[in-house]
Amino acid sequence: MNNPPSPANAEAYLLQVRQVSRVFSDGQVSALVDVSLSIRRGEYAAIVGPSGSGKSTLLNLLGALDRPTHGEVLFGGRSLSAIRDIDSLRACQIGFVFQSFHLLPTLSALENVQIPMFEGPRRSPSERIRKAQELLTIVGLARRMHHLPSQMSVGERQRTAIARALANDPPLILADEPTGNLDSHSGSAILDLFDSLHRERHVTLVVITHSSDVAQRAERIITLHDGRLVPENESGREFLHPQGHVPAVSNSTSP
Amino acid sequence: MRFWGIAWKNLVRRPWRSSLTALGLSLAVAAVVALIGVSQRLEQSFLQLYNQRGADLVVQHSGGMMQLNSGISENLHERIGTLPGAGQVIGGLMDIVALERFDLFAVIVNGWRADCPVLDQVTIVEGRRLRAGDRSQVMLGKVLAGNIGKHVGDTIEFYAEQFEVVGIFDSFSIYETGAMFILLGELQRLMDRPGKVTGYVVQAAPAGDAAAVEELRVRINGLDPNIRAVAVSEFVRNISQIRLIRTASWVTSVIAIVIGIVGVLNTMITSVFERASEIGTLRAIGWHKWRVMSLVMAEALLLSSLAAIVGASMGAGSARLLGCLPQLAGFLDGWPPGTVIAQGVLLAVVVGVLGALYPAVWAANLRPIQALRRR
Ligand SMILES: Nc1ncnc2c1ncn2[C@@H]1O[C@H](COP(=O)(O)OP(=O)(O)O)[C@@H](O)[C@H]1O
Ligand SMILES: [Mg+2]
């Protein structure tokens, strides 16, 4: 499933991964082996697989946080390795949502959402505040804007993080186990939010998950196993947990 | 929210660490402002002493500056005074004695000729001025007389001899109000320096004309290879006590800078290390390296600006307080000059920038994925 570079592909595909491998030098770990895939504009894809299978490594490559050892990643038809100002790409084109939120503890929700706006299109301080208020209203936090992360529930923190990811209206949202730290109720609120972003804003979503809820809502499931892509017709559902929780990993110490 | 607001909130989240660092830097700035301020004011008040007397040149033994134990001939007085372009000439012998009974260990004794203009320029507030024929008679400066509680008619002992206080005088200069005057011949005898003076203060005839002063200087130097005439400003700058204080204040400044840099460095390194994950997040969501660097620098600059304000005020305040001590009255009146305060502020800012440089570069080069994995 190699996509030859052509303008048509660049139109259709926001992300193209070409024979990508990632070896971590310190442990000689091959986190990803010869992975190729493409993600259409506006697509909602879930990445599943057991722990350590290379999901985060793949997401980091898609988000230009890391570079592949072999192969290349194309964003909108351009190779990431050819882009000089990769920081601006991350700031304007990509919104990240992390499992543990990574909000700045000293800043209120309203201020956290403004952080990405220091990069990207020029905005006056008052425009930044207005935009942040708008985004927090969308994620349902209109009444919690001036709370610090420590004063919010974990679900509210994750919604703040999603509002921050949307700050510069990026076409792509990458989320690494966004509901992993949430109870099922807050988790499904987040997923509803993703659904509406996908439907109403046509945002491209790539979400790593252990939860069958996400996988059911996604249009497509990408399965990784030992750093390799499992062909998409084979099921990845065995890695999913019906309650949307990650059960405690039982490293079965047999008697 | 503004950029500086983020920096400020990062500082106040560790209020103790930030304020202690700022306090340390403030003390360094205060020490520098106070010391440099004191040394500059000492120099100024010396200069004032000579300027008010209208002095242009100081003539001394060519061996060195302000040497009490190497005098020059008393006879030069007339020879200098008759040079073309020479105005008033004041020659005197000077010594420093201890008045141990009064806990005063450095009292200046000036020996003047009976016709010396200084004796007319000071204001007699009690008794009379010295006159020809006086032997064991002394005039006391007003501050000295106050400090030791002496009045006209009292006696005072120094050089193991008894002197009768015949007059008490006031002057614009602390060096004179804290001094005592006796006649030149008497001091020459007491110091065993017959025919010698410590030096001369010479006025040029058209007063204040730089070219005329320079011509006169060259002429005086031509009189005798053992003497050297220098401009008053140069003389004051080279007075060894003032040089010592100036050197001490610069050494203190350097130490203050080094300690300040280490303090800021330590604080900013700790702060940046413990926020590695936050900084990695900033980089991951698209902040450029230079913006992360700017944030760390902004935090250090806020810290050091705070220290600059507090430290400069403390330094200026303590220099001002020093000037209020009775022993220093007249030496150090008023606030240190603005340039000294500006030096202290500049020092704090330089310290802030230098101390934050390494932590800022470290933070900017954090690899976002590594930083995110730290949690
Ligand atoms: N920065 C890194 N340095 C060394 N090894 C890493 C690094 N990141 C991931 N790995 C290794 O690569 C493999 C895949 O990791 P990861 O992509 O985080 O898996 P997943 O997200 O699917 O749990 C694991 O064996 C992990 O230990
Ligand atoms: Mg992972």
pLDDT top residue among B5 and B206: B5
Chain B: residue whose CA lies nearest to A130: B1
B87 CA → ligand 1 middle, Å: 92
Task: Provide the pLDDT for residue A143.
Answer: 95
**Average pLDDT of every residue of chain A:** 88
Is A2 inside any structural domain?
Answer: no
Tens digit of each residue's pLDDT (9 = 90 or more) over B302-334: 999 999 999 999 988 888 887 777 666 555 666
- Around Cβ A242, how many Cβ atoms within 10 Å? 9
Q: Considering only residues 101 to 140 of chain B, which have any Cβ-Cβ distance to chain A shorter than 8 Å?
A: none
Is A249 inside any structural domain?
Answer: no
Going by CA atoms, what residue is nearest to atom 26 of ligand 1? Answer: A52
> Which residue of A66, A107, A119 is in closest CB contact with B288?
A119
Q: Say which CATH number the domain at A31 has.
A: 3.40.50.300
**Could you tell me if B220 and B311 lie in one domain?**
no
Chain A: residue whose CA lies nearest to B2: A125
Is B94 inside any structural domain?
Answer: yes
- Mean pLDDT, residues B167-174 taken together: 89
Question: B2 vs A125: CB contact, 8 Å cut-off?
Answer: yes
Model confidence at A251, in pLDDT bands (50, 70, 90)? very low
On whether any CB of chain A is under 8 Å from the CB of B294, the answer is: no
**Could you tell me if B307 and B196 lie in one domain?**
no
Q: How many domains does chain B have?
A: 2
Distances (CA, A) of B70 to A74, A110, A139, B56: 88, 78, 89, 22
Q: How many domains does chain A have?
A: 1
Task: Provide the pLDDT for residue B263.
Answer: 92
On whether any CB of chain A is under 8 Å from the CB of B4, the answer is: no
**Could you tell me if B71 and B113 lie in one domain?**
yes
- pLDDT above 90: residue A120: no
Tens digit of each residue's pLDDT (9 = 90 or more) over B140-159: 999 899 989 999 999 999 99
The residue segments making up the domain with residue A15 are 7-239
Among the three residues B157, B191, B225, which one is the final residue of a domain in this structure?
A: B225
Is B258 inside any structural domain?
Answer: yes
Looking at CA atoms only, how far is residue A255 from chain B in angstroms?
33
ipTM, interface predicted TM-score of the complex: 0.88
**Could you tell me if B30 and B71 lie in one domain?**
no
CA quadruple B113, B119, B120, B126: dihedral sign: negative
Tens digit of each residue's pLDDT (9 = 90 or more) over A41-64: 999 999 999 999 999 999 999 999
B275 CA → ligand 2 middle, Å: 21
Contact B119/B181 with Cβ under 8 angstroms?
yes
Model confidence at B38, in pLDDT bands (50, 70, 90)? confident
**Could you tell me if B353 and B256 lie in one domain?**
yes
Q: What share of chain A is helix, strand, coil (3-state, %, to 5)?
A: 35, 25, 40
DSSP B245-278: HHHHHHHHHHHHHHHHHHHHHHHHHHHHHHTHHH
- Reference B29, options B260, B243, B187; nearest CA is B260
**A167 CB contacts (<8 Å, ≥6 apart)?**
A95, A113, A114, A115, A116, A117, A120, A131, A132, A135
Q: What is the 3-state secondary structure (H, E, C) of B187-209?
A: HHHHHCCCCEECEEEEEECCCCC
Task: Provide the pLDDT for residue A243.
Answer: 47
Tens digit of each residue's pLDDT (9 = 90 or more) over B88-139: 999 999 998 988 888 888 899 999 999 999 999 999 999 999 999 999 999 9
| pTM of the full structure | 0.79
Going by CA atoms, what residue is nearest to atom 25 of ligand 1? Answer: A52
The residue segments making up the domain with residue B119 are 63-225
A58 CA → ligand 2 middle, Å: 9
- H or E element that contains B240: helix B240-274
- Around Cβ B280, how many Cβ atoms within 10 Å? 24
Is B203 inside any structural domain?
Answer: yes
Q: How far apart are CA A8 and CA B96, in angstroms?
A: 98
